[in-house]
Amino acid sequence: MRVAGFGFRQEVTHTALKDAFEKVCALSGGDAVSVLATPERKSGHPALQALASELNLPVRAIDAETLSKISTRTHSDRVAALYGTGSVAEAAALAAAGAGARLVCARVISDDGTAVAAIAEGDMP
């Protein structure tokens, strides 16, 4: 199963999330994504919900404690201070993909800089 993980600023738009999603999918070979994942506190954001609806995909909310335990390929000092992990997008994707998941594509940033997306693959149903 492939999971697209997202990190984003509060002012993010549907367009920015879709931009990051399309970029990361193109870089990861274009295989189908089954789930979108993000931190629990952002899972209800209207822009993410709109993207999930458009793609007909569920959103998996990842709790802060789980995110803080995941080591990521990339690192942002700001994100590490807020979440305890180097990349929210990468950590959310890995967590939602399950034990033994691997990162297929590290975080990709939207053109406007308000959204990042990453893709992980794992055995989580």
- Is the model's pLDDT at 30 over the cut of 80? no
pLDDT of 104:
95
- Is the model's pLDDT at 125 over the cut of 70? no
pLDDT of 123:
85
For 39-66, how does the pLDDT look when each residue is reduced to its tens digit (9 = 90+)?
A: 999 999 999 999 999 999 999 999 999 9
- Is the model's pLDDT at 12 over the cut of 90? yes
Structure tokens at 86: 């180097």
pTM of the model: 0.93
Order the strands of the 102-109 sheet from edge to edge.
Answer: 59-62, 35-39, 2-8, 115-121, 102-109
Three-state DSSP class for residue 71: coil
Distances from the Cα of 24 to the Cα of 33, 45, 73, 93, 125, angstroms: 11, 20, 15, 12, 22
CATH superfamily of 2-121: CobE/GbiG C-terminal domain (3.30.420.180)
Share above pLDDT 90 across residues of the chain, in percent, rounded to a whole number: 82
Phi, psi of 83 (to 5 degrees): -120, -10
